[in-house]
Amino acid sequence: MVLWAAAFVGIRAAGRSFSPGALALGRLAVGTVLLGAVALSRPLVRLSHRELALLVLAGLLWFGVYNVVLNDAERRVDAGTAAMLVLIAPIFIIGLAAAFLKERATPNLLLGGALAFVGVLVIGFATSTGKASLVGVILCLGAALSSAIGVVAEKPVLNRVSALQVTWICCTVGALFCLPYAPLLVRELQLAPAGGIAWLVFLGVFPTSIAFTTWAYALARGSAGRVAATAYLVPPITIVMSWLILGEVPGGIAVLGGALCLVGVYIARKMPKALPLVVLGLLPATANAQDSVVYLLSPASVLEVSTGKAGLLGFVGHEHTIRARAFSGRIVYHPDSVAASRVEITVRADSLEVLTPPDTEEIRKVTAAMRTQVLDVANHPEIRFVSRYVELNGQRLEMTAALTIKDQTHYVPVIVELDVGSDTLRAVTRFAVKQTDFGIRPFRGGPGGTVRVADRVTFAISAVAIRQSP
């Protein structure tokens, strides 16, 4: 957020020497070279067609359109008005994430986001000159919408691809989008003073390369709405930086707006506190509400994976049921803070066994192919399921879990039905994932690969866990 706040100061400074398109191309070109030098020195993940399309969309809108349009908008409206309009983006993101990513907008997120936006309005009115053209207003709103769509498009790809690779690809796409401004950039570089060029390089190195990458890193580990709410920290940070760097002393009203932004972001980022399970009758009243309760999975637990069939001759294939014969795990529950609770399950990949079709010889062949050709259990011996975000909703747990297969991690939404006795916890859940999200090519067979396993597979977990003595 500090680097993005610095970007507003940098754009104002560099904008004296460069036109909107040339400035966007210059900073994106610097970012593409720097990020590429680092990204190409590391192993890259091969993208699916869907992932590539999403990154092209994010690169065009968030890196390309957003930068050009924002640069132009800041020439037509004052900084206060621009801040008010551009920071509508988190509101767009929350709505788009709910519609396309199925993220739940918590009361804290809505209340905190609203309060932070009020803070932005206060800052805007305090710093606005009252002069804003209609075109400038439309450009600011367009920039806000472009960035929101880009964030939501980028989010699913970050489940499997590193933040560095994602940012580099998006930055490259944005730079290609801005290539028509190359002749203008060359001419303006020849006329620009050293200070203007220094600000352009600063924008390419820090707000573009570092800030976008760290943003992607955070986005991969949190919901789009909650991460987007942190953008409301930009106005108060910008006020402080403008004061220190440009000598612009903020007024009292602007400081008040900054305080509202800080409080709003704190509320939006705060995990909702659910009622203890003891109160809801899901745990026995004898449990110590101050301590965590640990349950270990028992051998009575069942973990199965169901596959479908696809391909030209898929109708002659089989739908397989696969069962894990060896897995372990534990559930750590915190009565006073459900969000701190944790679920961990580890499956030995070589224990997965195909149960269908009924033919014994066929089972052995399919199981062997799954272990060697699909999962490569010799090099990837474990499959892990670890909760990252847990929330109690009625008598169900809603969580986001990190599922790791073949050393590729994908975040999946999971709803768990609970039945808690005095010493035994039973939990049942089903969720579906795509094999290609983990770099797995669905198994193919038959003439010319015309019979294959469907990409989408369904996990069904029926956990029986025994409470451990303190």
- pLDDT tens for each residue of 2-50: 666 566 667 777 888 999 999 999 999 999 999 999 999 888 888 888 8
C-beta of residue 60 within 8 angstroms of C-beta of residue 173: yes
Alpha carbon 171 to chain centroid, angstroms: 17
Lowest mean pLDDT across 62-76, 295-309, 311-325, 389-403:
311-325
DSSP alpha helix (H) spans, 128-245? 134-157, 163-177, 182-191, 194-203, 212-220, 224-229, 234-241
Is the pLDDT assigned to residue 248 strictly greater than 60? no
CATH number of 277-467: 2.40.128.110
Start-end of CATH 2.40.128.110 domains in the chain:
277-467
Residue-level pLDDT at 180: 96
Residue-level pLDDT at 448: 45
Residue-level pLDDT at 42: 84
Highest mean pLDDT among 123-132, 216-225, 231-240: 216-225
Residue-level pLDDT at 443: 66
Residue-level pLDDT at 317: 46
Q: What is the 3-state secondary structure (H, E, C) of 340-405?
A: HCEEEEEEEHHHEEECCCCCHHHHHHHHHHHHHHHCCCCCCCEEEEEEEEEEEECCEEEEEEEEEE
Is the pLDDT assigned to residue 52 strictly greater than 80? yes
- Burial class from Cβ neighbours inside 10 Å (0-12, 13-18, 19+) for residue 383 reads buried
Is the pLDDT assigned to residue 369 strictly greater than 70? yes
Is the pLDDT assigned to residue 321 strictly greater than 80? yes
- Higher-pLDDT residue of 151 and 365 is 151
- Higher-pLDDT residue of 81 and 256 is 256
Report the C-alpha gap between 254 and 260 in whole angstroms. Answer: 10
Is the pLDDT assigned to residue 179 strictly greater than 80? yes
Residue-level pLDDT at 3: 65
Task: For residue 398, give every residue at least 6 positions away whose Cβ sits within 8 Å of its Cβ, in sequence order, or none.
Answer: 104, 390, 391, 392, 413, 414, 415, 416
Residue-level pLDDT at 63: 96
Q: How confident is the model at residue 260 (pLDDT cuts 50, 70, 90)?
A: low
Q: Tell me how many degrees the CA angle 383-442-299 measures, rounded to the nearest 5.
A: 30
Is the pLDDT assigned to residue 124 strictly greater than 80? no
- Higher-pLDDT residue of 201 and 340 is 201
Residue-level pLDDT at 391: 76
Structure tokens given for 443: 């198994």
Highest mean pLDDT among 39-43, 176-180, 461-465: 176-180
Identify the bridge partners of residue 419 per DSSP, sorted by sequence position: 426
Is the pLDDT assigned to residue 178 strictly greater than 50? yes
Encode pLDDT of 405-438 as tens digits: 888 888 888 888 877 777 888 888 888 888 888 8
Report the C-alpha gap between 229 and 266 in whole angstroms. Answer: 9
Report the C-alpha gap between 82 and 77 in whole angstroms. Answer: 6
Q: How confident is the model at residue 284 (pLDDT cuts 50, 70, 90)?
A: very low
- Higher-pLDDT residue of 1 and 317 is 1
Amino acid found at 457: V
Is the pLDDT assigned to residue 290 strictly greater than 50? no
Residue-level pLDDT at 255: 60
Report the C-alpha gap between 92 and 80 in whole angstroms. Answer: 20
Mean pLDDT of 358-380: 78
Lowest mean pLDDT across 111-115, 123-127, 195-199, 398-402:
123-127
Lowest mean pLDDT across 26-40, 93-107, 179-193, 302-316:
302-316
Q: How confident is the model at residue 288 (pLDDT cuts 50, 70, 90)?
A: very low
